[in-house]
Each structure stands twice: as structure tokens, then as C-alpha cells.
Copies of this chain bind each other. A is one copy, B any other.
Amino acid sequence: MNKVDLKELAERLNLSVSTVSRALRDKYDISEKTKKRVLALAKELNYQPNPYASSLRQRKSRTIGVVIPEIDNNFFSLAINGIETVAQENNYHVLIYLTHENQQKEINILKHIQNGRVDGLLMSLSSETDQIDHVKEIRKIELPLVFFDRVAEGMDVPLVTTDDYQSGFDATSHLIESGCRKIAYLSISKNLSIDNKRMKGYADALEKHRIAFDSKLVLQGAHDHEKNKKDIARLLKSKPRPDGIFSCVEKLAIDTYEVCRTLGLRIPQDIKIVSFSNLAVSSLLNPSLTTITQPAFEIGKEAAKILFKLLEQLEKKRPFSSIENKVFNSSLIKRESTG
């Protein structure tokens, strides 16, 4: 066991522990000569400071937490990629927590995290979450928090999102312009603001083209693929059959593809599909999928950057500047599924 601590360094160098500590951290009141001696020995012995002692004393952990619904999802893995990149640049560590779209898990995670384990939090809500007391609790202890994508609104917290309303509007308009008149909306959650906004865009686009909104055409997706496929199949077998599908999330679009295959429905001849998606192979699907693609990596990076800005302000005890929201544009990429 190879544990070198400050005491050991101090003894070997005939210095005090506090001097060694300050030398290693390049403080002003240690001579250059001493600093060099200390650094040299520290390197030789491969000294690594104990992060827990340090965190305990400094009341900061150099760690941020990321709480997300799931990770086997292109959007979130790209976002984490962005987050981790920024964290590594700032010499921070990243703790990952998955809620698996479960509100109770989300509550538990937030509860067990509000003890200084992380200096800040990045978060995207679970689809089941229908109240946010647990998040407000986090605010009470003044833990810097940034929401991305699946945000909770009205909380005085920075939000990083995309132009969900506009995207919903554009996607639906695109379907209408492609000839669709009976367009279904596949939702993940009526609780999530991003879902509501997308649906509002959908509804407004319908209205603009004088197409009646029909609540029977709104399908609530679940966490269970099989159930989703059954529901989608029922929807696609209803008469008159929908001629367009706007899916709020990638996985429901995939389910739709599979159901269409099962039912022998042709895309785009029988039904056209557009979906939010970060699938790298959208253009290679059969048929290629028209997507609204969010800049997921950038969203992760930006959310992390804002969080680090908050941390810096906290550090310098500056008053928090105005809440910094950031809205990215998604891009509608037209492909065969709406052709």
C-alpha cells in the first residue's frame, strides 16, 4: 500500500505540514526554492492529495452531479459527452445518476445528494415527474443547479433548451405541407414543459391550417415498448387512419416504424413520420427518417458552462448575475419519411 500524505512529505523535507500544503498549492508566502523542493519530492513519491480530506476542509468537492432519466438514448449520451468534456477542462469530476423515468427514484437521488457531495447539479426531469418539491428542496440549500432539455419552469434556475414550440410548429407544418390532414402526436409526458411546448406548436400549426385538433390523435407514450407498440397499432388501425405522425421522442418513432412494418403500412405513401431524434443513422433508415435534431452535445456543454459560471460566482461571493437561459435552435432535416 503506497499512501503518501502531507505528513510524510513534511518529515522527509524537514518542513511543517502546513508549509508543504501551501507549497503544493503555490501560495505566495512560500519561497520558490522550497516550492521546488516540495514539488520535486511530491512528484517522485507520486503524492496524490486525499480528495475527501480536502473536500471536507474546503467545503467543496470538485464534483458535479448529472441527474437524467436514461442514458441509452442518443440525446442524453451526447449531452453527457458535452458535460464531461467541460468538466474535464475544469478539473471536475462527474457523478451520474439515472432516474429511469421514475419520480420516486428522482426524489431519492436528490435527497441523497444534498449533503455536499456535489458542488453543483445538472438535471433533466423524468417523464413521470409531476411535482417538483424535491427540486425546490435542492434550491433551499443553495446548491447551484442548471436544467437542460427537460426543464422545470418558474424556478429561478438557468435553463438550457431548444426552441421546442417552433420545432413543433415547423414539424407539423411540414407534415401538413406534405399533404397530411390527420396528424397524430406521440407524447412522452404531459408533465414535461418541452412536451407541452412541442404539442402547442403542433396544435397551433393545425389551427393555422384550419385543421381541427383531435385529442384522440394524441397518444401518451409509456416507458414500456410493448405497450407503446400496442397503442400505436391501435391508433394506426383506427379509421380513418392517421396520415401523419409527429413523434416527440425518438423511441416512439422507432416503435412506429416497427408497427408500420408489422401492419404493412408504407412510409411515406400511407403515412408520413417526423420525429425528434438524435439518431446518427436517421438517414440510413428504411425509409430515411425526417428528424428534428437537437444540438445535444452543445446543449450539454452549454449547461455545464453555465453551471461552472455559477460556481465561480459562488466562489467569489459575487451576487448571482441575472439568470442565464440559453435556447438553441434545432434543425428540421427533411428525409424520405415525409417525402
Contact = CB atoms under 8 A, between A and B. Distances in A.
Contact of A71 (B52, B80, B284): B80
Interface in A261-314: 261, 279-281, 284-288, 297
Nearest to A76: B77
Given A77-B72, A98-B81, A254 B284 contact: yes
A49 interface: yes
Contacts of A112: 48
Report the 6 A-B pairs with minimum CB-CB distance, sorted nearest first: A286-B286, A48-B115, A52-B55, A52-B56, A52-B52, A72-B77
Given A48-B112, A77-B77, 6 more contacts: A50-B116, A56-B56, A63-B95, A72-B297, A88-B97, A281-B281
A70 interface: yes
Interface in A55-87: 55-56, 61, 63, 70-74, 77-78, 80-81, 84-85
A117 interface: yes
A321 interface: no
Interface residues of A, number: 55
Interface of A: 1-3, 46, 48-53, 55-56, 61, 63, 70-74, 77-78, 80-81, 84-85, 88, 93-98, 105, 111-112, 114-117, 140-142, 254, 257-258, 261, 279-281, 284-288, 297
23 contacts: A2-B140, A46-B111, A48-B111, A48-B115, A50-B116, A51-B115, A51-B117, A52-B53, A70-B81, A71-B77, A71-B81, A72-B77, A72-B81, A81-B98, A84-B98, A85-B98, A88-B97, A95-B95, A254-B280, A254-B284, A279-B281, A285-B285, A286-B287
A96 to B, nearest CB: 5
Q: Which of A95, A257, A280 has the most CB of B within 10 A?
A: A280
Contacts of A80: 71, 96
A71 B98 contact: no
A49 to B, nearest CB: 7
Contacts of A93: 95, 117
A94 B73 CA distance: 18
A61 B258 CA distance: 45
A53 B51 contact: no
Nearest to A261: B284
